[in-house]
Amino acid sequence: MITEENARAKVLESVRALPKRNVDLEAALDCFAAEEVHARLPLPLFDNSAMDGYAVIAGEKRYRVIGEQPAGKDRQLHVKGGEAVRIFTGAPIPSGANAVVMQEDVTRDGESITINGKIDIGEFIRRRGCDLSEGQKILSKGDRITATKLALLASQGIVDLAIGGEVTAAVISTGDELVRGNAALQPGQIYDSNSTLLAALVRNVNAQVAFAEQCRDDLETLTHAIEHGARQQVLLISGGVSVGEHDLVRRALEELGAKIDIWRVAIKPGKPFLFARLTDCVVFGLPGNPVSVFVTFLRFVRPTIWKLMGATDLAPSTFAAELDVDLANDDPKRPHYVRGKFGNGKFSPIGRQESHALFGLSQANALGRIEAGGKLRRGDKIDIEICG
Ligand code: AMP
Ligand code: MG
């Protein structure tokens, strides 16, 4: 049985970033930059006022107001000693001025103002380029495009961007017991929740589900569905990857000539995990239990989709939290991802910790990792990842 880390490395090694494309800025949110971008313009673009007030040469007590400079049009004003220009936030600083005094700190009397306090040189002037220099790198290849990065690009007058390729996925859920939607349940049947979970997880990483099918545990139907699903870049199959007579995913893949790279990983929950390649498609066989689907998606599928999309930082974003209870993992071989709640710096498990326990999973906002055979005490640090 391969370790979780080796399995992830093996999966990631087997995929390459898809070809880049150019999109309008708005369409780039949560995608990954395919090229470096450098500032065309400095920020701020010109010396401007940080306040509504008066632009002056610091040092006097009284000034004569000689004009007004609103934001939006540079009136090319000039101040000399003892002169002030009424100025507004974002307006260009008149030449000669070396400070802005805020209006709350002056008393105005007709065309003159008296300063109530002391003015420092440079006060309330936002200097050209103090935030960002022209030519400075603003995006690295592989960076995730967040709302704030989009805003920075917009500040440069950039309207389109090269990003990584679009990932389309297929989702197949397997099992004779599965019923779709709200159709009447016969004894022994359950509603299919994995299809919904996987579709939502795929959407969460900004990829698209282009094909979804529910399959009975029947080799022919399954083989047919896999053939179809493998036309997408990623195929996610839930259920049927274990060792029972009704677990047919591996056989179906082999009959189609797939190359099975991984089968069974040392991770709890999620051991019966399969990774294969079928033509150009990467295929994940995820265990049917919902918690296993969730954990294996986060640990293996998500970084793969991100890599296809052109991301470069694929490491899980974990941090240390304080454990609020004693916690042990009695499995000697597999790290356990415990579902829990994180708040005020502390993590505590929530709900039942078996792999079928969907309610507990739905209440969790974090996964805590406890090493194989690990024993942690209340107050110890535990590595967690926010997941809800
Ligand atoms: P399997 O991996 O096929 O042996 O399934 C393991 C467990 O997960 C069984 O209890 C299944 O009923 C359950 N299961 C499998 N597929 C789904 C699904 N799509 N939705 C909800 N539960 C499922
Ligand atoms: Mg099954």
Q: What is the pLDDT of residues 321-380, one digit of tens each?
A: 999 999 999 999 999 999 999 999 999 999 999 999 999 999 999 999 999 999 999 999
The Cα–Cα gap between 322 and 325 comes to 9
Task: Tell me which of 194, 245, 296, 354 to substitute to probe ligand 1's pocket, judged by most ligand atoms within 8 Å of the beta carbon.
Answer: 194
Distance (angstroms) between ligand 1 centre and the Cα of 193 equals 9
Which residue's structure tokens are 């679009």?
Answer: 166
* Virtual torsion, Cα 108, 111, 114, 120, nearest 10 deg: 110
* pLDDT tens readout for residues 298-311: 999 999 999 999 99
The Cα–Cα gap between 149 and 36 comes to 13
CATH 2.40.10.480 for domain 318-386: no
Query: Which is the closest atom of ligand 1 to the Cα of 287?
Result: 2
Which residue's C-alpha comes closest to atom 16 of ligand 1? 288
The answer to whether the CB of 239 is under 6 A from ligand 1 is yes
From-to residues of CATH 2.40.340.10 in the chain: 318-386
Distance (angstroms) between ligand 1 centre and the Cα of 277 equals 23
Return the pLDDT at 132: 98
Kindly report the average pLDDT of the chain as a whole number.
97
Tell me: pLDDT of 388 over 90: no
| Joined tokens for residue 150 | 């989009």
Indicate the burial class of 112 (C-beta count within 10 angstroms; 0-12, 13-18, 19 or more). Answer: middle
* pLDDT tens readout for residues 48-73: 999 999 999 999 999 999 999 999 99
Instruction: Work out the average pLDDT over 211-237.
Output: 98
Residue 82 and residue 61 in contact, taking contact as beta carbons nearer than 8 Å: no
Distance (angstroms) between ligand 1 centre and the Cα of 348 equals 27
User: What is 21-43+133-163's CATH number?
Assistant: 3.90.105.10
From-to residues of CATH 2.170.190.11 in the chain: 48-126
Which residue's C-alpha comes closest to atom 23 of ligand 1? 288
Return the pLDDT at 96: 98
Instruction: Work out the average pLDDT over 174-187.
Output: 97
Distance (angstroms) between ligand 2 centre and the Cα of 36 equals 46
Superfamily of domain 2-17+165-308: MoaB/Mog-like domain (3.40.980.10)
Q: Which residues surround ligand 2, an ion (CB under 5 A)?
A: 175, 239-240, 288
| Joined tokens for residue 32 | 């990954």
Torsional class of 331: left (φ above 0), alpha (ψ -120 to 50), beta (otherwise): beta
| Joined tokens for residue 329 | 């993992």
The Cα–Cα gap between 330 and 353 comes to 13
Residue 124: HSE in the Cβ half-sphere, 13 Å Cα cutoff = 26
Residue 320: which H helix or E strand, with range? strand 319-323
Which residue's structure tokens are 């597999």?
Answer: 334
CB-based contacts of 323: which residues, under 8 Å, 6+ apart?
Answer: 346, 347, 348, 368, 376, 377, 378, 379, 380, 381, 382
From-to residues of CATH 3.40.980.10 in the chain: 2-17+165-308
Tell me: pLDDT of 142 over 90: yes
Return the pLDDT at 283: 98
CB-based contacts of 144: which residues, under 8 Å, 6+ apart?
Answer: 30, 31, 32, 311, 313
Which residue's C-alpha comes closest to atom 17 of ligand 1? 288
Distance (angstroms) between ligand 2 centre and the Cα of 288 equals 6
User: What is 48-126's CATH number?
Assistant: 2.170.190.11
The answer to whether the CB of 44 is under 6 A from ligand 1 is no
pTM above 0.85, yes or no: yes
Distance (angstroms) between ligand 1 centre and the Cα of 82 equals 81
Indicate the burial class of 71 (C-beta count within 10 angstroms; 0-12, 13-18, 19 or more). Answer: middle
